[in-house]
Amino acid sequence: MTRFVLVHGAWGGSYGFRFVRRLLHADGHEVFTPSLTGIGERSHLTGPHVDLSTHVLDLVNVVRYEDLDDIVLLGYSYGGMVVTGALDHIGTRVRELVYLDAFVPADGDSLATLTGGGFGNPASDIGAPWLVPPPKREYDDPAAAEWSNLRRTPQPVGTLTEPVRLSTPLEEQPFGRTYIRATVDPGAAFETPARRAQESPAWRYHEIATNHMIPENRPAELAELLRDLA
């Protein structure tokens, strides 16, 4: 039995892992999918105070309060920022760190600096200049697209502009490192971390032939890769 902690991406929620979670549960694994404050299932808690540190603490508290150890920790997309920022707090509890088509920041990086994004006045709605509206996403199944796009929520801008803090570079950490890349319409933002993983003996590298929405498009294939890590 392995303990998995799966961290969702921007504008989404833990519901995006519902299919993967069921498959891993069926194998007898423990699966935790924290919901990040202010988006997804916790969108009712949004506000200008929500930043990357809030999301890091969401993750850290789940791991600490559940007393989880020897975990496979996965960050999907923006979730790569969150899992990286949590390492100074829970890195000793991680056995394998997995980036799923995700950002892999160094100390001092923010999502804004990694993408060149300008999030100074993100929302058009009067009274909410601190919210960044969700971009529409494409899914393999039109029904999944309709279901999931309805649940995507604006994201507090502080989560995208606050820099990550990481005292020890990833390659110097004692846990294993895996990168999983989507190969259909691959986003340019993930080209650099994917190449880093491909070219370094410190990383494992895998590909899944779908677009960025891997957890909902290819849950069985993703679950199989995670089983191999278990």
Catalytic residue positions? 77
How many angstroms separate the CA atoms of 121 and 113, rounded? 16
Q: In 27-168, which ranges are continuous DSSP H helix?
A: 52-65, 79-90, 111-115, 142-149, 158-161
- The whole-angstrom separation of Cα 29 and Cα 8 is 19
Kind and range of the H or E element at 50? Answer: none
Give the chain's radius of gyration (CA, Å): 16
d(CA 165, CA 161): 13
